[in-house]
Structure 1
Amino acid sequence: MPVQLLPASAAAFAPRASSVNVVLGSKVEPWLTKTLKRINKVKRPLNSVPQHTKCLTETLSSPNAIWILASLMLPKAPEDKLKNDSNPLVEAISNYQLIHLEAYIVHVDMVLRNEVAFKLTPDTIESLIEYHKDVHCPNTKASTYDWSEKDQQCKKLHEDFVQAINKFVFTTHVTALEGLEEEGAGELLDGRSEDVKSAVMNLYKPLLPPPPRIVDVVRQPPLLPSSPANVSRWSQPTTPSSLPAPVESWRVLPSSPSVASSGSASPPMWASMGVSEVQMPSPTPAYSTPSYSTPFSSAGYYYGSTLVSAPLPLPSMLAPHCGVSMGFNNFGWDRYQEYTTTM
């Protein structure tokens, strides 16, 4: 895209130049010739490019060459001071004002960008600044919460608007010159006024309060429910201390009658249980006649000089007669005399 070139008169706070900068191409468009003939009361020769340039420059440089770009309906006072009336027409007249956006042409380029540039008049700029100070700033100030630097921010907001509205230049296609009238005045056609309204109203910025302060909270990573606080999550689990200690195989009864000895490859079902963990009834006195109503008598399983005078049988000798139940109901009372002959 070609670089936009504007004269010094288009700068902020620059006064209006006595002559408009007009640049035409090597060939004049027919619509421009027709427009210039329509607005001139005195017939002027328009047979060449220099003649068109001179006629257009003199017409746009006239003090009366003021264009109305758009019209804005704006409130006269802040929202809390607007008047209420039963008649909507009276309420609108009392509370609203019509501001015409008047401008003059500072640049016409029909070679590089084919555009025409407008700059707002000092009276229009003053009206927009007054509205921003008396209406817009109080409204946006009332719509935000209070903080320590609110007044300073509102003042800076107004200063920024003053700079922006003085720098404002509206550019559009050169065909906008078709709305040219006598003495250089004119009006934008083809809906270009809506573009001007949007561009001007976008300069009214809201008052943005500072964002809330974010307090950094350092949180520890959550631990797994089964992991203690001082153990890494990748550490190997330790053996619980509540598990019973290993017991020698000769102290454990075989798990089933089919097992011949305690040295088999697979340990019995209750190999991990010690004899001390099995709740056994107290032994019956020596030389007493066993009662078949008693579920179990463990007289031959206790070491003592007064009770046992012969070596005890090995668990492998008792395996075919022992069941897998914990009650020892099938201990083999039919051979009881063999075990107690020497007692």
Structure 2
Amino acid sequence: MTTVVLPDGPFTFTGAGAEFTKEPFTSRIAYAAAHVVADPLADNTPGMPAALDWEATLAFRHHLWSHGFGVAEAMDTAQRGMGLDYAATRELIRRSTREAAGPIVAGVATDQLPPGPVGLDEVRKAYQEQLADVQDAGATPVLMCSRHLAATARHADDYLDVYGELLRQADGPVVLHWLGEMFDPALAGYWGSDPVATVLNLIGAHTAKVDGIKVSLLDADFEVDLRRRLPEGVRLYTGDDFHYPQLIKGDAEGYSDALLGIFAAIAAPAAAALRALDTGDETGYDEIFAPTVPLARHVFGKPTFYYKTGIVFLAWLAGHQTHFTMVGGLQNGRSPLHLAALIRLADAAGVLPDADLAAARARAWLTTAGVAQ
């Protein structure tokens, strides 16, 4: 039976996602930022070290690679700073890189430091430790924004000094990362009083060491303007989970590649859309992506930093894991009404390939949420 009772009435799953095939795409570089699967029987309560189901976590990455995506490992989607401690992060990077069946980048941050004020030297050393860990594992580093640097830096030169040293020490090109405060309020004021000037100065001084920059500000016009100002050969990886179809398609002056959290949830239709773009079928591209946008906007709705809860809920409904439990107890990060709305949106977007499985799991969850079936 594929019909469930949602808070606003009966709903029947279509299983529309079963139609998508697994084939590569070539016209864009696209990374999906992957979530982690918690061990459901471990003590993954707030404040406890993260305990992962390694088999399911790695299987999800193979799912992404099978659709042609690169994996963006140990990023914000994997609950960096929201439950995933650095010991688990380091092991995650090592395991994923060892099993990689496609491109892989991995986050470099400073989250092994305790919360609170630290000096710039401590920030620098923490970044250097993680950079070495990622390079030793064999992944391409993504220099993530640091809460510690945001709290410590007093002007743009502090950012240029710390990042400049990291870029000089990097074995090869890295990806920079600009995460807005809607994803993490602790990053307010990042890059200093004139952030665009700081970023362009940094890239201009180290162009050979910068593959690209991931921008997650949910502002399409800002992203396009920055993209047009980047040095030749430096990519802009959109992290805009609201406007990704238009930014990836681009215009006569260029386009964005992608490093997106929503791609973890919509891998099958997103890959199909990108294959349509390969053949110049912009109508097909638009039609496939169109129903994924309302889903993405809901998943990343305010407070945006709890989007991980929706990503994991969808992975469970789609059959990528056997439970809806998260490290740090983050399965409670969204309300029942928010998650119930995701059920309709996910089915319309074609991300739930097995209607019977999705219905059975939704029915069980809705019962615990107080919606009689």
Same fold flag (TM > 0.5): no
Q: Shorter-chain TM-score: which interval?
A: under 0.3
> Which of these two proteins has the greater Rg computed from alpha carbons?
1
TM-score when normalising by structure 1: 0.17
Bigger share in helix: 2
TM-score when normalising by structure 2: 0.16
